[in-house]
Structure formats: structure tokens, C-alpha cells
Structure 1
């Protein structure tokens, strides 16, 4: 579901995937996602607006907007959080990546 966070079944560098695909497009076997990286493991500065921090179970994770990708639906594990309430910040990050503002 859109703006739900799922465990990543394959990549330990990105333990979570944020689903950003519209729920109206649910017949595909893929989902458009943004990976999250543990804030403590990110070694370089990132633009805050492009890469906002989301708290997952009390720990900070960076939304790696510039690494969004389409992945097989089967890659999405257990749903762990609903970030619908942070939709505006997430969409602003996507808009910055695509439109530059």
C-alpha cells in the first residue's frame, strides 16, 4: 500500500522499502519503492529535503529518494509502518528529484 514501509527480503544495506506507488495501480507484479538506510551508517551529508529522516521503531533511517526503483512485489516483506502522515515530505523529496524544486 502506498506510503507503507515494508521489510526488504533481500538487501541488508537497505532493510526497509517504502512503497510509493499508487494503490490504483495494483494489477502489476512490481511496486515503485524508495529504500531506507540506517542514518548511523550513512557516511556522507545528504540534502535533507531530498533525503528526509524517518523514524522506524524509534531509530532514524534516511529515505534514499535518489535510489527509488521498481521491484518485484515478492521483495516486500512484512509491513512495519504507515508513513501516510508524512506524505507531504515524501512527495516533496520526489518532486525535488524529478522537477528540481
Structure 2
């Protein structure tokens, strides 16, 4: 599974979180679940969370909010195909996790 790859969600919460971002480094994979962060379509949000904590990402011509504050262990059978590999957005994602974990 690709580090910073965005995958389809095949789990029971796919209607709320259609996409998942893999944040687990390949060196730590192979132990069961993957650590994924859900993405919510911006259009479904009544209010946008703080951008510093929840960056906005454009995926397949739609905007999604990365919910860094709710990561979870996802079993492999609930993870669909990879639809995008983050590139320039990685720094925004890393900054959001830095803010989440360290307050900076």
C-alpha cells in the first residue's frame, strides 16, 4: 500500500467517508490494519473545520476535507483501489499532523 496514497473506502462508513488517506509508513506495514485518515466531501460539511488541522485536498475534481483528528486502523478488506498519490499536498498533510500532535 502506498504511503500518502488515497484509497476508496469499502467499509461500512463509506457513505460518510468515501476516501481514506494511508499515513502508515511502509516500514511499519505488514502487521494487520493500515492507519488511515478519512476524507469528507466539502459539499457534505455544514462548516469547515480549521484549515490548519483539516486541510482541503482536491481529488478527482472535487474538494475533500482531511479529518486528521480521527485516524483509525482499517482492515485491508475495507480498503479499495488507490485513486491518487499525494505529491505537493504532502507538506500540508504533515503540517496538519504536526499541529495535531504538537500544537505547532
Interval of TM-score (by shorter of Structure 1 and Structure 2): over 0.9
Matching residue of 1:4: 5
TM-score (norm: length of structure 2): 0.91
Is residue 57 of structure 1 aligned with residue 60 of structure 2? yes
TM-score (norm: length of structure 1): 0.94
Query: RMSD of the alignment, in Å?
Result: 1.0
Q: Structure 1 stretches (4+) deviating beyond 4 angstroms?
A: none
What is the aligned length? Answer: 101
Deviation at 1:26, TM superposition (A): 2.0
The runs of 5 or more residues in structure 1 that have no matched partner are none
- How far apart, CA to CA, are the structure 2 residues paired with 1:20 and 1:7? 14
The runs of 5 or more residues in structure 2 that have no matched partner are none
Deviation at 1:22, TM superposition (A): 0.4
